[in-house]
Amino acid sequence: NVELTPEPWIMAWCISFIPALIGLQSLPKNRSNLLYMFAFGIIVTGVGPLMYGSTFVILEVLQNMSEGIVPATQDWRVLPIKMAVVAFIIQLHAITVYYSSKLIGAWGSKGEKGS
């Protein structure tokens, strides 16, 4: 019977729902200051823990491969799936930060006349 406990970086990543809520609050009235908070919060609480966690997972895989051992637990089968999910979520966060910066630029130029 294997008991699964979440890793600390996963628990830290779960806090990234708070900046997501802040980002949702910024949309109805084009409040760019809240969108700045969203982008910064996603980088700190979303991308940061995921990057830390992905390096931890990759180092674990490389160590197991270099030693030529298969861990006694079934966790080694989960590692490729975990790496794919982390990569997908990092891409998702990167896209949200990119488009939030585009929105900040668009909302900041509101009212300016182009040439």
Cα–Cα nearest to 108, from 32, 36, 34, 39:
32
Residue 23: partners with Cβ closer than 8 Å, 6 or more residues away: 34, 35, 38, 42, 96, 100
At 64 the pLDDT is: 75
Residue 93: partners with Cβ closer than 8 Å, 6 or more residues away: 16, 42, 43, 46, 47, 50
Q: What pTM was computed for the model?
A: 0.78
- Say how many Å lie between the first and final Cα of the chain, rounded: 69
Task: Answer yes or no: are the C-beta atoms of 31 and 25 closer than 8 Å.
Answer: yes
Successive 10-residue mean pLDDT values, the chain, 115 residues:
78 94 93 94 94 87 76 66 88 95 88 55
At 114 the pLDDT is: 54
